[in-house]
Structure 1
Amino acid sequence: MKIQYCDDTDTIYIEFRADNIAETRGLDESTILEVDAEGNVCAITFEHASEQTDVEQLQVQGMVV
C-alpha cells in the first residue's frame, strides 16, 4: 500500500495494489476510483484534499512491518 500527498495539486493518492488498471470511475467531482479487470479496487484519488480532509493530521495506524 502506498499513500502520497501532492501539495502542489492538493491531491491524496492511495494505492492498495499495483495491478493493471482496467477502469477509472469518477465517484463524485473530487474522488476517482481505479479498479482492475475483476473489479478489485486498486487505488483511490481525492482531489481538493485539503477541502475534504485534514491533510495536516494524516495518521497511519495498525501498521504491520
Structure 2
Amino acid sequence: MKVKYFEDTDTAYVELLGNPVVETREISENIYIDIDEKGNLVSMTIEHAKENAEIMGVFLSGNIS
C-alpha cells in the first residue's frame, strides 16, 4: 500500500494494487474509489483530506467492514 498526500490540494491518494483501473466510483462528495476489471479496489482518492481525517484513520488501520 502506498499513501501520497498533496498538500497544495489537500488530497490523499491511497494505492492498494498496481492493477489498471477500469472504473472510478464516487462514494461520497469527496471520496472516489478506483476498481479493476475483476471488481477489486485498486485505489482511493480523498479530497479535503484534513476534513476527512477520520476516514483516512479508519482506512489505514484496517477497520473497514
Normalising by the smaller structure, the TM-score range is: 0.7 to 0.9
Runs of 4+ in 1 over 2 A off after TM superposition: none
Percent sequence identity over aligned pairs: 38
Aligned residues: 56
5+ residue gaps, structure 1: 55-59
2:33 counterpart of 1:36 = no
2:16 counterpart of 1:16 = yes
SS, match of residue 50 in structure 1: coil
5+ residue gaps, structure 2: 55-59
Q: CA RMSD in A?
A: 1.6
Deviations 1:3-47 (A, max 9, x none): 000000100100001110010000011000000001000000110
How many angstroms apart in 2 are the aligned matches of 1:17 and 1:53?
A: 22
How many angstroms apart in 1 are the aligned matches of 2:2 and 2:53?
A: 18
Counterpart in the other structure of 2:5: 5
1:52 CA displacement? 1.2
Counterpart in the other structure of 2:57: none
What residue identity is the alignment partner of 2:33? L
SS, match of residue 25 in structure 1: strand
For the pair shown, the structure with the greater C-alpha radius of gyration is 1
